[in-house]
């Protein structure tokens, strides 16, 4: 059992080396608000996604825009010889997971206290390149 797990873990590690991704941990925005922005750009081409994020009014879109730019630069590091325009990059996967929660107390009437949960999230962006060799 241990050998199979180790081999599978190494396969996953090798597959991740070829992917271009970026992660943002403990972003102080609620996951629900961040998912609204993530749903706008999921599956879009990178150029179109950046335009959508640039002209969106939501604060979370600024953070996602910066994250997508980071993923693009990570892709460029792995593929120095290829250009972005020829690669036809798109957002293959964008995931928003709940992060740690800060718990605070707010005074309430009659000596009581209500708990306030300040949520945070983790965002992961994975880029994919469409293969033009198959279509030719």
Domain with residue 104: its CATH number is 3.90.470.10
Q: Average pLDDT, stretch 112-136? A: 83
pLDDT digits (tens, 9 = 90+) for 95-123: 999 999 999 999 999 999 999 999 999 99
What's the domain count of the chain?
A: 1
pLDDT tens, position by position, 44-63: 999 999 999 999 999 999 99
Question: Is residue 14 a part of any domain in this protein?
Answer: no
Closest CA to 21 of 68, 65, 54: 68
With CA atoms as reference, report the closest residue to 89 among 37, 48, 40: 48
**Is position 65 within any domain?**
yes
Per the confidence metrics, is the pTM higher than 0.85? no
* Residues 6-23: tens digit of each pLDDT: 999 999 888 877 789 999
């Amino acid at each position: 059992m241990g050998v199979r797990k180790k081999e599978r873990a190494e396969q996953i590690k090798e597959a991740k080396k070829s992917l271009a991704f970026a992660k943002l941990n403990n972003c102080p925005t609620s996951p629900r608000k961040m998912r609204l922005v993530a749903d706008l750009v999921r599956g879009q081409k990178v150029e179109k996604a950046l335009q959508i994020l640039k002209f969106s009014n939501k604060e979370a879109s600024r953070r996602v825009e910066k994250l997508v730019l980071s993923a693009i630069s990570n892709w460029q590091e792995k593929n120095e010889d290829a250009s972005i325009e020829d690669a036809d990059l798109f957002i293959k996967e964008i995931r928003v997971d709940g992060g740690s929660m800060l718990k605070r107390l707010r005074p309430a009437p009659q000596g009581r206290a209500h708990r306030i949960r300040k949520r945070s999230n983790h965002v992961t962006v994975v880029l994919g390149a469409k293969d033009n060799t198959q279509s030719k």
